Structure 1
Amino acid sequence: MEIREPKPDEAERILEVVDSSMTSSFRLSPQQIDGITDGQFADEAIAEKIDDEDTQLHVVETGEEIEGTIIAGFVEGRLEDEWGEVNWLFVDPEHRGKGIGTELYETATEALRDRGADHVCVTVLEANTEGHQFVERFGLEHDGDRRIEVAGESLVKYVYTDSDIDVELPTESRADESDAETTEFPETETTDGHLTATNDDGKTVYIARDEEESGTAASFHVTYEDEAHEEQYGYYCANCGSLDVSMDNMERLECRDCGNAHAERSKESYDDSHL
């Protein structure tokens, strides 16, 4: 395989790779996928990224053609303060199992360091059901969250860094986290030092900040009937502030008010071939 920088006239094929990869591996609606591809990977967006000195793009060529092209993968990195950030990485489902994802990741991180990045982080959409375990295989750990707006919806990106890094995340991440703090727990109040919410019947429940499950729009937090957090009540949706959260027999959570959802990611379901 050959890894190189893309040309502006290859934007259409890049979009096809992104779309097929997201359709195959992301727990997103078609409207959400269209919102991401239209905003991030349309012809004009790719052209602007190619011209941006702080953004670096790489594509993978293989010897096998798909629909007249041989581009099988795409990665985007960006310099942000002293950080290098890998914020998108896609491999066409038809070409997985050949180590393309690993080659793209290593190329992007090496290029960012060559251009002066002291540290490298990776951002992965929460809805990317395979991407989290992919980056964890490189020793990276979840170190923060970032929100992005897609077609009027707020989606969450996880920020991954090396476990031994003890410096602030890139400026964009810090700004997003600051904004997130003010809206992290909507429809709540503090009662005697405890974070609480009230259900439709007027019952006060206690929210455990440190007991959370990921969601497609925001986290779910375990709630309790008592201050000591001994009698569990249910779950709280940090996206809309609702306590009307259901759990099915597969332990999948869903907010009945806003549709925020969580599906437990199973390590057994991960395929090493994506590396």
Structure 2
Amino acid sequence: MEIRNPESAEAERIREVVDSSMTTSFRLSPGQIDGLVGDQFADEAIADKREDEQILLQVAETGAEIEETTITGFVEGRLEDGWGEVRWLFVDPEHRGKGIGTELYETATETLRDRGADHVCVSVLEANTEGHDFVERFDLEHDGDRRVEIADESVVNYVYTNPDVDANLPDSTAEDAADEEFPETERVDGQLTTTDDGTTVFINRDEKESGTAAPFFTTYEDDGYTEQYGFYCANCGSLGISMDNMDRLECSDCGNSHAERSTESYDDSYL
């Protein structure tokens, strides 16, 4: 395997890797995937990124043990305010299980540090149902949410950092995903709550599960998060969440649904 900078003529192959990876592992509709790929990875977009000294682009190319040499993975990072941020990382589903994602991540973070980054953070789309587990394997912790506009759609990025780093995250055009992202809620003594037939329910923002429209959050009967009540749908504010025998969640009010993360389909090769 070789990790290198991509050539301008390889934009089409990068899009193929991104598209197939998102189709396999992201909770996004085909239209959303098409819009995101076209917005972020079109020929012109990649050309502009290659010319930007603050942006890092690297690809993984298979070695001699594979019959045909091809790009099997892609990573994008950025330098900003002393931080190196890993923004995108994709591995072709046909080539997973070979450590490609891990190699891309480690090479990208090392390169960002060599270029002057004091700290490293990672952004993962909320819809990337398997990527969150991957990031946590590098001892990074969820440090906040950001709402960003991609292809005219508002999406949420989870930001992960090293818990030992005491520094402000880089400035960004992204907005914090604050309480307005939680319909039918209010703050009680600083904690996010909602009500069910007059009963106050506490929402634990650190316990999230992906949804097709918005995430689900675990709810509790007490402010110490010891007695679980159920789940809260961040799309409509409902507590009417059902769970089937495969641990899949679905909101009875708006249809927001969740697919359980599969540890069998997930491996160290994918972010």
User: Is the contact between residue 206 and residue 229 of structure 1 (CA under 8 Å) also seen in structure 2?
Assistant: no
Residue 131 to residue 236, structure 1, CA distance change in 2 (3 Å) = closer
Which TM-score applies when normalising by structure 2?
A: 0.83
Q: Secondary structure at the match of 1:107?
A: helix
| Cα distance in structure 2, aligned partners of 1:164 and 1:17 | 34
- Paired with 1:99 and 1:191, the residues of 2 have a C-alpha distance of 45
Q: Residue deviations 1:66-92, cap 9 Å, x none? A: 6xx611111000012111000111111
Q: Kindly provide the amino acid, as one letter, of the partner of residue 175 in structure 2.
A: D
| 1:100 alignment counterpart | 100
Residues 1:191 and 1:101: Cα distance change in structure 2 (over 3 Å): closer
How high is the TM-score relative to the length of structure 1? 0.82
Residue 172 of structure 2 aligns to a residue whose secondary structure is: helix
**1:1-275 correspondence to structure 2 within 5 Å:** 1-63=1-63, 64=66, 70-151=70-151, 153-172=153-172, 176-177=175-176, 180-189=177-186, 196-197=193-194, 203-210=197-204, 212-216=207-211, 217-222=214-219, 224=221, 234-265=230-261, 267=263, 270-272=266-268
Report if aligned partners of 2:203, 2:217 keep a CA contact under 8 Å in 1.
Answer: no
Q: Judging changes above 3 Å, is the alpha-carbon distance between structure 1 residues 150 and 252 closer, same or farther for their aligned structure 2 residues? A: farther
- Distance in 2, matches of 1:119 and 1:274, equals 22
Q: Secondary structure at the match of 1:262?
A: coil
1:11 to partner: Cα distance:
0.9
Give 5+ residue unaligned stretches, structure 1.
Answer: none
Paired residue type of 1:27: R
CA contact (8 A) 1:215 1:260 kept: no
Are the structure 2 counterparts of residues 149 and 207 from structure 1 closer, same or farther at C-alpha, using a change threshold of 3 Å?
farther
1:222-271, Cα deviation, whole Å (9 max, x unpaired)? 165x9998986643222332333332222322234444333343546533
| Separation in structure 1 between the aligned mates of residue 226 and residue 72 of structure 2, nearest angstrom | 51
Aligned equivalents of 2:234, 2:17: Cα separation in 1:
33
Kept in 1: contact 2:91–2:269 (CA 8 A): no
Equivalent pairs counted in the alignment come to: 266
Question: Counterpart of 1:204 in structure 2: which amino acid?
Answer: G
Q: CA deviation at 1:195?
A: 5.2
State whether residues 21 and 93 of structure 1, in contact with CA within 8 Å, keep that contact through their aligned partners in structure 2. yes
Retained in 2: the 8 A contact 1:205–1:223? no
2:215 partner letter: A
Residues 32 and 60 (structure 1 numbering): CA distance in 2 closer, same or farther, change over 3 Å? same
* Cα deviation code 1:180-230 (max 9, x no counterpart): 22413222345788755456xxx3342313264323323424165x99989
Identity score, percent: 69
Paired residues of 1:155 and 1:218 also in contact (CA < 8 A) = no
Letter in 2 for 1:120: V
Structure 2: 5+ residue runs without aligned partners?
Answer: none
Say if 1:156 and 1:218, in contact at 8 Å, map to a contact too.
Answer: no
Write the distance in 1 (CA, Å) between the matches of 2:26 and 2:198: 36
Deviation of the 1:176 alpha carbon: 2.3
Q: CA deviation at 1:8?
A: 1.9
Secondary structure at the counterpart of residue 39 of structure 2: helix
Which structure carries more relative contact order (alpha carbon 8 Å, separation 6+)?
2
Aligned 8 A contact 1:196 1:204 in 2: no
What RMSD, in angstroms, separates the aligned Cα atoms of the two structures? 3.0
Larger CA deviation: 188-197 vs 236-245:
188-197
**Distance across 1 between alignment mates of 2:190 and 2:123:** 33
